């Protein structure tokens, strides 16, 4: 039994190159709406993005921009009702998951695509030990014996640098600190060695110092295992060190997608520009923070034209009439703004 | 844990004394002349009055009487009826019958109530859900004696499926209908609590996590969801065993079961004060201890609760 | 949830905190255009759409009318009968037939509403008043006052409901003769109150405890508002909704409890007309004339259900989580 364990453990590194090249996970023209008593909220309105092996895609947006709902749709954990997928595809290794049987999808969860949640306290089951919840996957999905599963679970806890992993195995979630709990959550999501990891605001609930540690750990594990990672966040600061590409979402759409350096250097969408400007900077101390005026649109009643136009400082009449499509604006970057070229070409 | 247990036990003492003293006072002291109506229409012979006064210390204050009673009680002596019969005997013969009835009721509650609650909690707004909601409303709203009568008349008299009353052998099959009647309200309550609890927890984050881990639905529901949702239900069931025995008066009367409820009712009507007090003491004690047990059970089921 | 079937399970502690949190429903994000409705307005909108609410309200109105003006519903004599009609079958003269003593069952069922409803409504008012006051005092004063009151409540809570009522009623009702109708009704009312107030007290106490530390109460106290004013102006309105719901449901369960006690022969007694007495009397004739059991039970069930359903409907409307 132990050789199997060893071979499995060494699998990611050895296998990483052997994975099918190209698009590992693709989301295409996804549309999701929430049907509630008070009306239909169009939460996702044609989202397209992809992530490849060994790459980190950061999905950035305010709360309500649809970034988490997209992730839930990929995982197949969207609450239905009220949430309904009305259009689009979610392809994993080229196969549309939305058309798969429930059983097929289940097998992908954990092993193909795994997820880390924001609030580790409520995301972990309060009445089972942390160890049990990790070992459970080895027992149910890999058919291991209790003893072997426990051994592997302790190894996982060790990998995410939880001190005294063996002792912590039998602690309950509420006995962990926030940072340790998020580490345990990471250990749990990586247990089955997934090809894609979706991290939904993994550090939002944590202290700033702990945030950095967790992000470092995630980055390290992602490189080690050559996983594709989708990092969902509303915090531009978190993204910079870890992400390769960034997709910015607004009102259920991708408004800009770019290489992380390009995006920071020269945003091609006024919304991204606004986000970058609203980060407090040391060289601008004493000045008023520049914020984006107004509120995100009501998803039950999205304004015609560009959804950002009521808040946009550059808005022109055309913005109120035509929805700007997401178009290429240079190598490997795209923007959904009528004036994207002007933004990119200015100094 | 040990200290918590001790504290809870100490807390029980004043409640136990208070409740039993209240009953003792109501039964012995309030009616005034304890011999009124004891000897038919006539006054009781002086000899009898003297004997009884001496036996129950009626010339002493109520507190002395109560203290003496409690002292004897803790030596295992529940006293005697006015006729000289040992109350221990009465309790010994009738208590097992009530316990048996209560256990049958509890089992029926657990099986039907839990089953209905779990099924409807997982699948809300279907036909079954509405059926359960309406039928539990009826069970909760109807006084127990109406349910008892209707079932006794329908099943026992009209259709003749069961015997209308229970024989002294207390066969389990005979106890099914009385057990159902006794447990009906709690059964409905359990079904509703289980339903709400499951429906609430079904959307909980940890259930979502369990699904995201790729666990089969059977395990998500059977292990992660149920374990959490059933904590309030299990505690309810525990408290209920104590409550069921105290509530068995009506059921035992209608179905002719020689249990503790029937004994206490008979004792109240015939003014057997000593018997009334002793049976109430037993019922209160069982009820309080069951509540304590439930508290401890709660801690065992939910690791978040700590007792210091 | 209360214990609608008070008769059997009231001694079970079922402390369920009434939830009164307002959470935004509907769209996960984005502010709604319409003016946000208050909790009560929302609840009313919800209620108006429920047929169950209207049906139970209608029935309650009917029963209240029946209790106040029984003559409106029947011209029959509920108390006197003639033996030659004994156990007569339902007919045009007496829709529900005659009982053993030849009394008109329909008239009796109508007149029976009064005793049941008067007793239960008075008991509920008393229970809310006593329990509510105790709860406010215990919750607001805290400390040893709270400790003592809570233990006293525990003492009454520990008494099995039916058993406690029987003991109280037989003790104070003595020989059971020569007592006027009103005296017995008063006794039943008092014993229901004595055995039920701890439930309301606990409800109220936890409600007060949770609002006591709320910022606006602390602010009011800091601004120098007196205890009486804080309790009346701030604490009570907050606890009123759950109490109202509980009270409505309790009316239903008390109707059942009163009937149970009458049935056991310790509550109301003939010549008072009440559903419980009628059901109890029908026992001996159940094989010959099941309708004697059926009609009073039907009215009893309808009355209990109407109050319980009304309470449930209001509670569901007040609880955003259940929507």
Q: Which of A144, A166, A191 is the last residue before a domain boundary?
A: A191
Same domain flag for B139 and B225: yes
Please count the structural domains in chain A.
Answer: 2
Same domain flag for B157 and B229: yes
DSSP-derived secondary structure letter, A96: E
The model's pLDDT over B151-164, given as tens digits with 9 standing for 90+, comes to 888 887 778 777 77
Q: Is A39 on the interface with C (CB under 8 A)?
A: yes
Same domain flag for A77 and A212: yes
Q: Is B227 on the interface with A (CB under 8 A)?
A: yes
DSSP-derived secondary structure letter, A64: T
The model's pLDDT over A123-150, given as tens digits with 9 standing for 90+, comes to 898 889 999 999 998 998 888 888 999 9
Looking at residue C109, its pLDDT comes to: 85
Confidence of residue A197 (pLDDT cuts 50, 70, 90): very high
C-alpha distances in Å from residue C220, one per residue of C141, C211, C223, C280: 17, 12, 5, 55
Same domain flag for A260 and A153: no
Looking at residue C5, its pLDDT comes to: 35
Same domain flag for A99 and A247: yes
Q: Judge whether B193 and B114 are in contact, CB under 8 Å.
A: no
Q: Which of A129-133, B181-185, C171-175 has the lowest mean pLDDT?
A: C171-175
Contact A79 B203 (CB under 8 A): yes
Could you report how far apart the first and last alpha carbons of chain A are, in Å? Answer: 62
> Looking at the domain assignment, is residue B83 inside a domain?
no
Give the mean pLDDT of A174-202: 89
Find chain A residues with C-beta within 8 A of B212's C-beta: 75, 77, 109-110, 114-115, 117
Same domain flag for B124 and B200: yes
What range does the domain containing C161 cover? 39-322
Nearest to A269 by CA among A331, A315, A318: A315
Size of interface A-C (CB pairs under 8 A): 44
Same domain flag for A102 and A249: yes
> Looking at the domain assignment, is residue A89 inside a domain?
yes
CA distance A185 to A174: 13
Residues A202-212 as b/e (b if ≥16 CB within 10 A, e otherwise) read bbebbeeebbe
Same domain flag for B50 and B104: no
Interface test with A, best of C24, C29, C31, C322 (most A CBs within 10 A): C29
C-alpha distances in Å from residue B91, one per residue of B21, B96, C158, C322: 20, 8, 20, 46
Same domain flag for A172 and A54: no
Residue C23 has pLDDT above 50, yes or no: no
> Looking at the domain assignment, is residue C34 inside a domain?
no
Looking at residue A15, its pLDDT comes to: 39
Residue A123 distance to chain B (closest CA, Å): 4
Contact B212 A172 (CB under 8 A): no
> Looking at the domain assignment, is residue C211 inside a domain?
yes
Return phi, psi of residue C90, to 5°: -55, 140
Closest CB to C166: pick one of B150, B157, B265: B265
Residue C49 distance to chain A (closest CA, Å): 13
Find chain C residues with C-beta within 8 A of B140's C-beta: 4-5, 308
> Looking at the domain assignment, is residue C27 inside a domain?
no
Confidence of residue A12 (pLDDT cuts 50, 70, 90): very low
The model's pLDDT over C86-96, given as tens digits with 9 standing for 90+, comes to 666 666 666 66
The model's pLDDT over C179-205, given as tens digits with 9 standing for 90+, comes to 677 788 888 899 899 988 888 888 888
Looking at residue C226, its pLDDT comes to: 74
The model's pLDDT over C228-286, given as tens digits with 9 standing for 90+, comes to 777 777 777 777 777 888 888 888 888 888 888 888 888 777 777 888 888 888 777 77
Same domain flag for A105 and A155: no
Tell me: cis bond preceding A81? Omega within 30 of 0 counts.
yes
Find chain C residues with C-beta within 8 A of B185's C-beta: 3-5, 8-9
Q: Is the dihedral angle over the CA atoms C78, C82, C87, C91 positive or is it negative?
A: negative
Q: Which of A168, A191, A214 is the last residue before a domain boundary?
A: A191
Contact C30 A63 (CB under 8 A): no
C-alpha distances in Å from residue B4, one per residue of B8, B9, B15, B284, B295: 6, 9, 17, 21, 10
How far is CA A229 from its chain centroid? 7
Find chain A residues with C-beta within 8 A of B301's C-beta: 127
Looking at residue C8, its pLDDT comes to: 31
Please count the structural domains in chain B.
Answer: 2
Same domain flag for B100 and B39: no
Name the strands in the sheet holding A56-60, side by side, starting at the edge strand that comes first in the sequence. Answer: A113-116, A196-200, A228-233, A56-60, A245-250, A253-259, A334-335, A327-328
Find chain C residues with C-beta within 8 A of B283's C-beta: 160, 163
Nearest to A114 by CA among B211, B219, B213: B213
CA distance B99 to B244: 9
Looking at residue C125, its pLDDT comes to: 93
Closest CB to C28: pick one of A39, A64, A295: A64
Residue A103 has pLDDT above 80, yes or no: yes
Tell me: cis bond preceding B126? Omega within 30 of 0 counts.
no
CA distance B149 to B163: 13
- A246 membership: H or E segment, kind and range: strand A245-250
Find chain C residues with C-beta within 8 A of B137's C-beta: 305, 308-309, 312
Q: What percent of chain C has pLDDT over 70?
A: 74
> Looking at the domain assignment, is residue C31 inside a domain?
no
Find chain C residues with C-beta within 8 A of B288's C-beta: 158
Same domain flag for A219 and A258: yes
Same domain flag for A249 and A307: yes
Residue C39 distance to chain A (closest CA, Å): 16
Q: Is C322 on the interface with A (CB under 8 A)?
A: no
CA distance B194 to C234: 34
Interface test with B, best of A80, A126, A139 (most B CBs within 10 A): A126
Same domain flag for B257 and B116: yes
Q: B127-141 vs C236-263: helix axis angle to the nearest 10?
A: 70
Contact B23 C300 (CB under 8 A): no
* A78: CATH: 3.40.50.300
Q: Between C68 and A10, name the one with better pLDDT.
A: C68
What range does the domain containing A208 cover? 3-112+195-281+290-344
C-alpha distances in Å from residue A27, one per residue of A34, A89, A336: 19, 6, 17
Residue B104 has pLDDT above 80, yes or no: yes
Is the model's pTM score more than 0.90? no
Looking at residue B246, its pLDDT comes to: 72
Q: Is C51 on the interface with A (CB under 8 A)?
A: no
Paired residues of A40 in beta bridges: A35
Please count the structural domains in chain C.
Answer: 1
Q: Is B199 on the interface with A (CB under 8 A)?
A: no
Paired residues of C258 in beta bridges: none
Q: Which of A159, A191, A223 is the last residue before a domain boundary?
A: A191
Contact B204 A107 (CB under 8 A): no
Q: Judge whether B268 and B31 are in contact, CB under 8 Å.
A: no
Return phi, psi of residue C146, to 5°: -60, -45
Q: Is C37 on the interface with A (CB under 8 A)?
A: no
Residues listed for chain C: 323
> Looking at the domain assignment, is residue C7 inside a domain?
no
C110 C-beta neighbours (distance < 10 Å), count = 23
Find chain B residues with C-beta within 8 A of C263's C-beta: 143, 145, 250
Looking at residue C193, its pLDDT comes to: 92
- By CA distance, what is B29's nearest residue in C? C171
CA distance A272 to A293: 13
> Looking at the domain assignment, is residue C5 inside a domain?
no
Confidence of residue B38 (pLDDT cuts 50, 70, 90): low
Interface test with A, best of C24, C25, C26, C27 (most A CBs within 10 A): C27
DSSP-derived secondary structure letter, B25: I
* C129: CATH: 1.10.3720.10
Residue B169 has pLDDT above 80, yes or no: no
- For C34-59, the DSSP string reads SPPPPHHHHHHHHHHT-HHHHHHHHH
E runs forming strands in B78-141: none
B33 C-beta neighbours (distance < 10 Å), count = 10
Same domain flag for A185 and A96: no
Find chain B residues with C-beta within 8 A of A171's C-beta: none
DSSP-derived secondary structure letter, C4: S
Q: Which of B51, B77, B103 is the last residue before a domain boundary?
A: B77
> Looking at the domain assignment, is residue A117 inside a domain?
no
Looking at residue C10, its pLDDT comes to: 30
Contact B153 C286 (CB under 8 A): yes
The model's pLDDT over B213-233, given as tens digits with 9 standing for 90+, comes to 988 888 998 888 988 888 888
Same domain flag for A61 and A74: yes
CA distance B278 to B275: 5
Residue A125: CA count within 13 A, CB half-sphere: 29
The model's pLDDT over C108-160, given as tens digits with 9 standing for 90+, comes to 888 888 888 888 999 999 999 999 889 888 888 888 888 888 888 888 887 88
Q: Judge whether B72 and B79 are in contact, CB under 8 Å.
A: yes
DSSP-derived 3-state class of residue A84: strand
- By CA distance, what is B156's nearest residue in C? C287
Q: Judge whether C108 and C282 are in contact, CB under 8 Å.
A: no
The model's pLDDT over A36-76, given as tens digits with 9 standing for 90+, comes to 877 888 888 888 888 988 889 999 888 888 888 999 999 88
* B264: CATH: 1.10.3720.10
Looking at residue B31, its pLDDT comes to: 64
| Chains near B (3 or more Cβ pairs under 8 Å) | A, C
Residue A11 has pLDDT above 60, yes or no: no
Q: Judge whether C131 and C199 are in contact, CB under 8 Å.
A: yes
> Looking at the domain assignment, is residue A40 inside a domain?
yes
Closest CB to B209: pick one of A108, A124, A140: A124
Same domain flag for A167 and A155: yes
Same domain flag for A137 and A164: yes
C-alpha distances in Å from residue A314, one per residue of A124, A345, C190, C192: 45, 15, 76, 73
What range does the domain containing B168 cover? 93-301
Closest CB to A137: pick one of B205, B211, B213: B213
Residue C306 distance to chain A (closest CA, Å): 28
Q: Judge whether C137 and C208 are in contact, CB under 8 Å.
A: no
Give the mean pLDDT of B18-36: 77
Could you report how far apart the first and last alpha carbons of chain C are, in Å? Answer: 16
Residue C21: CA count within 13 A, CB half-sphere: 8
CA distance C184 to B143: 21
Find chain A residues with C-beta within 8 A of B217's C-beta: 102, 106
B208 C-beta neighbours (distance < 10 Å), count = 21
Residue C11 has pLDDT above 50, yes or no: no
Same domain flag for B237 and B157: yes
Q: Judge whether C117 and C64 are in contact, CB under 8 Å.
A: yes
Interface test with B, best of A74, A79, A105, A106 (most B CBs within 10 A): A106
DSSP-derived 3-state class of residue C265: coil
Looking at residue C34, its pLDDT comes to: 44
Q: What is the mean pLDDT of chain A?
A: 83
């Amino acid at each position: 039994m132990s050789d199997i364990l060893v071979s499995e453990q060494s699998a990611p590194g050895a296998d990483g190159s052997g994975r099918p090249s190209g698009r590992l996970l693709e989301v295409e023209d996804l549309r999701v709406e929430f049907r509630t008593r008070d009306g239909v909220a169009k939460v996702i309105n044609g989202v397209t993005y992809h992530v490849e092996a060994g790459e980190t895609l950061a999905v950035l947006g305010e709360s309500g921009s649809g970034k988490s709902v997209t992730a839930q749709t990929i995982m197949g954990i969207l609450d239905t009702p009220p949430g309904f997928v009305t259009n689009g595809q979610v392809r994993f290794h080229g196969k549309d998951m939305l058309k798969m049987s429930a059983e097929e999808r289940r097998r992908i969860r954990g092993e193909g695509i795994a997820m880390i949640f924001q609030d580790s306290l409520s995301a972990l089951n309060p009445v089972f030990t942390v160890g049990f919840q990790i070992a459970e996957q080895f027992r149910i999905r890999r058919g291991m014996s209790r003893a072997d599963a426990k051994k592997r679970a302790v190894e996982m806890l060790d990998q995410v640098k939880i001190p005294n992993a063996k002792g912590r195995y039998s602690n309950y979630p509420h006995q962990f600190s926030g940072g340790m709990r998020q580490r345990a959550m990471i250990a749990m999501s990586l247990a089955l060695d997934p090809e894609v990891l979706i991290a939904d605001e993994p550090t939002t609930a944590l202290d700033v110092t702990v945030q950095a540690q967790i992000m470092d750990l995630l980055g390290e594990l992602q490189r080690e295992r050559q996983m594709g990672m989708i990092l969902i966040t509303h915090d531009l600061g978190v993204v910079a060190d870890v992400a390769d590409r960034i997709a910015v979402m607004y009102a259920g759409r991708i408004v800009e997608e770019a290489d992380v350096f390009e995006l920071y250097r020269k945003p091609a969408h006024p919304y991204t520009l606004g986000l970058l400007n609203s980060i407090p900077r040391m060289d601008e101390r004493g000045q008023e923070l520049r914020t984006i005026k107004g509120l995100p649109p009501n998803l039950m009643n999205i304004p015609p034209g560009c959804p950002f136009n009521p808040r946009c400082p550059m808005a022109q009449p055309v913005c109120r009439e035509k929805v700007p499509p997401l178009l290429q604006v240079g190598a490997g970057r795209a923007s959904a703004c009528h004036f994207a070229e002007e933004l990119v070409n200015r100094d | 844990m040990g200290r918590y247990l001790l504290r809870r036990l100490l807390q029980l003492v004043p409640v136990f004394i208070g409740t039993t003293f209240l009953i003792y006072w109501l039964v012995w002291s309030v009616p005034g002349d304890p011999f009124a109506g004891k000897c038919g229409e006539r006054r009781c012979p002086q000899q009898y009055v003297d004997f009884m006064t001496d036996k129950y210390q009626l010339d002493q204050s109520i507190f002395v009487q109560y203290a003496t009673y409690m002292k004897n009680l803790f030596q295992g002596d529940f006293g005697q009826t006015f006729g000289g019969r040992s109350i221990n005997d009465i309790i010994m013969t009738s208590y097992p019958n009530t316990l048996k009835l209560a256990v049958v009721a509890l089992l029926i509650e657990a099986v039907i109530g839990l089953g209905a609650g779990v099924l409807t909690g997982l699948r809300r707004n279907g036909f079954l859900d509405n059926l359960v909601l309406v039928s539990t409303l009826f069970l909760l709203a109807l006084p127990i004696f109406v349910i008892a009568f209707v079932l006794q008349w329908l099943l026992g008299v009209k259709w003749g499926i069961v015997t209308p009353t229970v024989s002294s052998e207390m066969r389990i099959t005979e106890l099914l209908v009385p057990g159902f009647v006794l447990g009906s309200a709690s059964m409905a309550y359990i079904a509703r609590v289980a339903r709400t609890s499951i429906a609430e927890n079904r959307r909980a984050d940890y259930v979502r996590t369990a699904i995201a881990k790729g666990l089969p639905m059977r395990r998500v529901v059977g292990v992660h969801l149920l374990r959490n949702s059933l904590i309030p239900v299990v505690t309810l069931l525990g408290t209920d065993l104590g409550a069921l025995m105290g509530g068995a008066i009506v059921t035992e009367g209608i179905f002719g079961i020689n249990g503790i409820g029937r004994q206490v009712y008979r004792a109240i009507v015939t003014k057997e004060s000593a018997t009334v007090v002793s049976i109430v003491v037993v019922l209160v004690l069982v009820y309080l201890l069951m509540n304590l047990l439930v508290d401890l059970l709660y801690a065992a089921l939910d690791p978040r609760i700590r007792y210091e | 949830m209360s214990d609608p079937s008070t008769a059997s399970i009231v001694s079970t502690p079922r402390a369920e905190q009434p939830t009164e949190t307002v959470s935004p429903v509907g769209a996960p994000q984005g502010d709604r255009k319409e003016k946000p409705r208050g909790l009560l307005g929302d609840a009313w909108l919800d209620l108006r759409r429920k047929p169950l609410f209207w049906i139970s309200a209608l029935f309650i109105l009917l029963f209240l009318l029946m209790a106040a003006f029984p003559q409106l519903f029947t011209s029959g004599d509920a108390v006197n009968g003639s033996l030659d009609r004994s156990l007569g079958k339902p007919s045009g003269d007496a829709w529900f037939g005659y009982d053993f003593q030849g009394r008109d069952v329909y008239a009796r069922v109508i007149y029976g509403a009064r005793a049941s409803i008067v007793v239960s409504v008075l008991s509920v008012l008393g229970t809310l008043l006593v329990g509510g006051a105790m709860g406010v005092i215990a919750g607001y004063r805290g400390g040893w006052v709270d400790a003592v009151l809570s233990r006293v409540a525990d003492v009454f809570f520990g008494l099995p409901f039916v058993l406690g009522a029987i003991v109280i009623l037989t003790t104070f009702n003595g020989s059971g003769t020569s007592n006027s109708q009103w005296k017995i009704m008063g006794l039943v009312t008092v014993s229901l109150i004595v055995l039920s107030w701890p439930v309301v007290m606990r409800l109220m106490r936890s409600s007060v405890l949770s609002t006591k530390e709320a910022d606006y109460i602390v602010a009011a106290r800091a601004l120098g508002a007196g205890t009486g004013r804080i309790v009346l102006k701030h604490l009570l309105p907050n606890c009123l909704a759950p109490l109202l719901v509980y009270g409505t449901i309790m009316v239903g369960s008390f109707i059942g409890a009163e009937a149970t006690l009458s049935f056991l022969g310790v509550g109301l007694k003939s010549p008072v007309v009440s559903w419980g007495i009628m059901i109890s009397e029908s026992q001996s004739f159940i094989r010959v004339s099941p309708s004697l059991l059926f009609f009073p039970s039907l009215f009893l069930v309808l009355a209990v259900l109407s109050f319980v359903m009304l309470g449930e409907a209001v509670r569901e409307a007040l609880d955003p989580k259940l929507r």
